[in-house]
Structure 1
Amino acid sequence: MTTTPGSALISVGIVDDHALFREGLREILEAGGDIGIVGEAGDSAGAVAMVGATKPDVLLLDVEIPGDEVTETVGKVRRISPETQIIILSMYDGPQLLTRLLAAGIRGYLLKSVHRHELIAAVKSVHEDPSRVVLAVSRHSLAHVESAPPSGGLSEKELEVLQLAAQALSNAQIARRLGLAEATVKRHMRNIFVKLNAVSRIDAVNKAVAASLLAPQSRSEGE
């Protein structure tokens, strides 16, 4: 089953390095009648290519596929298809990885031991409400996540760039201040926009302040 323009199906991409597991997921999801599989991949490079070509509503991403580390794959997917909601599938219940992935922008983390109705419900839930996060993990992992401070998924360097952007410095000025290439600063700004779901520099700064990632400050005129 595949989605077509104008269809009411929820489009889903599946990424796992085991073909038999992908086939099982396809059968489970398509049995519901309102979910269509638009692509599959077995590694991180294939995942990014598939998402770029199909822009699925939801991506089911195995945590241990060959290639890039999973948080890198999540970041690439979010850059090329910000509207795609990512649900991680894993055999392991690790609170540190879960925290990092939530900061990177995933919308779900499910252990592979979940029942089929839980999987279908998770896909529909994050599609219907992109702000919702669905977790099927242990109480220990959940407690760890709830006690972790918000980071917005921004790296230390991205926070430095955004701090200077909040002072109304241009990309060229930020590059000189941090000893970076201007192209690198632009890449950091694009990543910041994606991670904060921002549409402008001012919007990114305001959202970072609201999330306590940056302290409120008066804007200067730059250098």
Structure 2
Amino acid sequence: MGADQPEPATVRVLIVDDEQLVRAGLRMILDAAPDITIVGEAADGAEAVELTSSVGPDIVLLDIRMPGTDGLTAAERLATLPAPPRVVLLTTFDLDEYVHRGLRAGAVGFLLKDTPPRDLVDAVRTIHAGNAMLAPSVTRRMLHHFSSHADGSAPAERRLATLSDRERDVLLAVARGRSNAEAARELGMREPTVKAHVSRILAKLELTNRVQAAILAHDAGWV
């Protein structure tokens, strides 16, 4: 790298899984990336919350199903910290009935434990950059699954009625898994403008991240 180019920001990751073999595999994959540092490992949710407070990870890879304090409870506790990390749920199943609760607790996405190594590294970088993991087909299937079983379309539509036409366009792009850059190209807008719209959407809807906004759009039947 040239002297005039800054070093890429290091992503600090905490791995949480009750199986040591899974933790070792995730560490091996992520440690191979020059811009990712593993700052700790935890075997259950309570330990994850304690470690997060002491080591300050940017991202917590959090298994859902663990004995003791499970990943969902941990995600809810992590969201209450003064500087909460970005939480990514790990699951064995692509339609885990508990994932929806985790996303509503503030998680920014979820990954299957058998995600290919390169995709896992790319996912960590994408999430660190401020994007949610909505693009993978498994996440779209999960969102469709829960929206098709929900009976809350009317309440969701009432909440979304507060949005302007342009904000609705941006939210629809988000619900379809578009990044800010992709949404900007589709809508003929500048990327900073899309980012500003997303911030206003979250504030109006009293949500904490774009995954929750996408779920609300799915609940309303927009996608």
TM over 0.5: yes
Report the aligned-residue RMSD.
Answer: 3.0
CA-to-aligned-CA distance 1:97-118 (integer Å, 9 cap, x gap): 2221111111121111210111
Q: Are the equivalent residues in 1 in contact too, given 2:133–2:139 (CA < 8 A)?
A: no
Once the two structures are TM-superposed, the CA of residue 52 in structure 1 deviates from its matched residue by 0.8
Kindly indicate whether residue 40 of structure 2 is the aligned counterpart of residue 39 of structure 1. yes
Gaps of 5+ in 2: 1-6, 154-198, 208-212, 217-223
Separation in 2, partners of 1:104, 1:114: 23
1:101 alignment counterpart: 102
1:126 counterpart letter in structure 2: I
Spell out the pairing of 1:127-206 with structure 2 (5 A cutoff).
127-130=128-131, 132-134=132-134, 135=136, 137=138, 140-145=141-146, 147=148, 206=204
Q: Are the equivalent residues in 2 in contact too, given 1:42–1:66 (CA < 8 A)?
A: no
Q: Are the equivalent residues in 1 in contact too, given 2:86–2:107 (CA < 8 A)?
A: yes
Q: Are the equivalent residues in 1 in contact too, given 2:13–2:61 (CA < 8 A)?
A: yes
CA-to-aligned-CA distance 1:145-200 (integer Å, 9 cap, x gap): 455559xxxxxxxxxxxxxxxxxxxxxxxxxxxxxxxxxxxxxxxxxxxxxxx9xx
Shift in CA distance, 24/69, structure 1 to aligned 2, threshold 3 Å: closer
2:167 alignment counterpart: none
Q: Which has the larger displacement, 53-62 or 19-28? A: 19-28
1:73 counterpart letter in structure 2: A
CA-to-aligned-CA distance 1:53-112 (integer Å, 9 cap, x gap): 111011101111222243211011111254411111111223532221111111121111
How many residues are treated as equivalent by the alignment?
153
Q: Which has the larger radius of gyration?
A: 1
1:79 aligned counterpart, secondary structure: coil
1:121 aligned counterpart, secondary structure: helix
Shift in CA distance, 138/59, structure 1 to aligned 2, threshold 3 Å: closer
TM-score for both structures, normalised by structure 2: 0.59
- Identity of paired residues, percent? 35
Q: Are the equivalent residues in 2 in contact too, given 1:95–1:144 (CA < 8 A)?
A: no
Separation in 1, partners of 2:50, 2:103: 22
Q: Are the equivalent residues in 2 in contact too, given 1:16–1:62 (CA < 8 A)?
A: yes
1:84 counterpart letter in structure 2: P
Once the two structures are TM-superposed, the CA of residue 139 in structure 1 deviates from its matched residue by 5.8
Separation in 2, partners of 1:30, 1:129: 21
Q: Which has the larger displacement, 53-62 or 7-16? A: 7-16
Gaps of 5+ in 1: 1-5, 151-197, 213-223
